[in-house]
Amino acid sequence: MTDLEEIKRRRTFAIISHPDAGKTTLTEKLLLYGGAIHLAGSVKARKTARYAVSDWMEIEKQRGISVTSSVLQFDYQGCRINILDTPGHADFSEDTYRTLMAVDSAVMVIDVAKGVEAQTKKLFKVCSDRGIPIFTFVNKIDHFGKNPFDLMADIEDVLGIRSCPMNWPIGVNGDYTGIYDRETEMCHIFIKDNAHGVKKLEVISGKIDDEAIVSQVGQEVLDALRDDLELLDEAGDPFDAEKVAKGELTPMFFGSAMTNFGVQPFLEKYLELAPPPEARKTLEGTIEPEDPAFSGFIFKIQANMNKAHRDRLAFMRICSGKFQRDAEYYHVQGNKKMRLSQPQQMMAAEREIVEEAYAGDVIGVFDPGIFAIGDTITVPGKKFTYSGIPTFAPEHFARVSAKDSMKRKQFVKGTEQIAQEGAIQIFKVPNSGMEEVIVGVVGTLQFDVFEYRMKNEYGVDLRMEGLPYEEIRLIDEYPGELTDLNLGTDAELLEDYRGRNLLVFSSYWAIDFTCRRNPGLKVSEIVVSEG
């Protein structure tokens, strides 16, 4: 297979949703049908005593939620699939935003009973702003839910995008027994079992008037299906690949990840419709995936995935050319040539050394502490920078120190490493040491994860004091010494790891009050920025 053929068969996508819509369960089932695993474990795993493959961190298994993105790779029907499973919980949306920078399309999972929810709306906007094609999987159709037409209206009204159902649920009032494929005009009836979705379900397939189909679901249900399909043909949007590519139309699929309804038809159709690796913007121009010169960027850093080795892994999206294990590469931000040691392909926490990879692939490389999120890697002689990755202003703050002063070294190492991953932001009081730091996060659940990881990965018990601050601003100008600032109890002077001076405030009103109290002080908002 030529390098170009290898690139064209790549499909790299993220799965996004509101918490509990079934995103991680769908990921598991895609792996099941792709042959990457033989038994699927739901996230909650009450019936199966298994945990989702993509949830590798211990706290994820305990809480039944994803708190960090994971990368899963497998082959199916001639395609090499890279799935980036993302946290659904809003407190970890930063990780999701960064992950979306590394994909060519996204699968949006919607709960049939709830429709489009708040977090889905936010994530959709990120995809939309970046022109990422979106495919919709309406999940949990084995439960009572909204009428499919109402869901289509919901997607259009809330997200502003038209939908084109590729299949349609067979059944009435949430009691669905299968799906109808509009393109092949085939009914697929699923035989329910008591395996709780651990194995693939048996399927009876046939035309709408086949005797086997009629006897399985009944004439009344099929008559209702015919009425729905007629209405769809008249009033629905036809499939338009160009509109999908532009993010103006979302192909819509129905199914139940937990019971395996419609998962395989969705996977096969998605692979047919989803885009291969696309051109990427750099500050200097556009790089095509077919460009023979290797390039990629770091979109995620994760420490301690392997407890035995205390390692640090940088996740890299390959944007052009072919990666080879023994080749020499160039780290643009570090301005130095290097070899990328221990390149790995991943199945969540399981990894294997990779000899080569192509544009579209996501690989992990060992990070000795030199990479940062957003860094560009190229071949020597090529110097350009991929467009940045968003960073976010924290909204919650806590004063943090080690309970045991003898653990200072581990405390400093742990806080710095977890901050480099982008999970937290650390600040300090100017002219003070690192015995105590101010930790800023976007969502409060990140504090729990930070505390858990410091104890379990670095052996440090923390003393954490919540701070009343909600707003953070950069200091742009001040005519005097910053130490002379007249600050009340509603503001505090901090310094970030880049050495920038900032102020945190207890409220929005405290900003104006502090500026009036300190003539000449000018501050600016830390907006979502390209880091």
Q: What residue ranges in 77-184 does DSSP mark as E strands?
A: 79-85, 105-111, 134-139, 162-165, 167-172, 175-181
Q: Is 454 helix (H, G, I), strand (E, B) or coil?
A: helix
DSSP 8-state code for residue 158: I
Strands 79-85 and 10-17: parallel
Question: Which position has the token pair 């509109």?
Answer: 243
User: Which of 166, 167, 134, 137 lies closest to 22 in space, CA to CA?
Assistant: 137
For the entire predicted model, the pTM comes to 0.74
The pLDDT value recorded for residue 67 is: 37
Q: What is the dihedral of CA 514, 517, 523, 524, to 10 degrees?
A: 50
Which pair of structure tokens corresponds to residue 201?
């379900």
Q: In whole angstroms, what is the distance from residue 74 CA to residue 84 CA?
A: 12
> Phi and psi of 231, rounded to 5°?
-65, -40
Identify the three-state secondary structure at position 346.
Answer: strand
Confidence of residue 377 (pLDDT cuts 50, 70, 90): very high
- Residue 279 amino acid letter: A
Identify whether the C-beta of residue 135 lies closer than 8 Å to the C-beta of residue 108: yes
Distance CA 96, CA 416 (A): 21
DSSP string, 317-335: EEEESEEETT--EEETTTT
* pLDDT (tens digit per residue) in 14-70: 888 877 777 778 888 888 877 755 443 433 333 333 344 444 345 444 544 333 446
Give, for 351, the enclosing helix (H) or strand (E).
strand 350-353
User: Between 314 and 277, whose confidence is greater?
Assistant: 277
| Tokens found for residue 135 | 């495919």
H or E stretch covering 276 = none
**Can you say how many angstroms the Cα of residue 42 is from the centroid of all Cα atoms in its chain?**
18
Supply the pLDDT for residue 27: 81
Domains of the chain, start order:
13-71+89-273 (3.40.50.300), 280-378 (2.40.30.10), 392-530 (3.30.70.3280)
Using CA atoms, how far apart are residues 35 and 32, in angstroms rounded to an integer? 5
Encode pLDDT of 77-128 as tens digits. Answer: 899 988 886 654 444 456 677 788 889 999 999 988 888 877 778 778 778 8
